[in-house]
Amino acid sequence: MDKVLHLGSVIIKGNIEIGVLNSVCIGVVDDTEIGEGVKIDNIVHIAHYYSVGNSCMLTASTELREKY
């Protein structure tokens, strides 16, 4: 299996809280971003390319993923 080169990155702004067992996926082309003052509870998944706005709160077991 060939590796896929990821050109995107994960940008995490300041003053945030991140709980345990979370995953934030890096984008292949574009960035994944977590805004200023965000609070993330436990077991949260943020898929690639998502942008979480400033001062958001993500509760336990939240999943932000692609729409099909």
Residue positions annotated with a catalytic role? 48
Q: Is 26 exposed, middle or buried (0-12, 13-18, 19+ CB in 10 A)?
A: middle
Two tokens at 5?
A: 């080169």
Return the closest-CA partner of residue 9 out of 30, 40, 34: 30
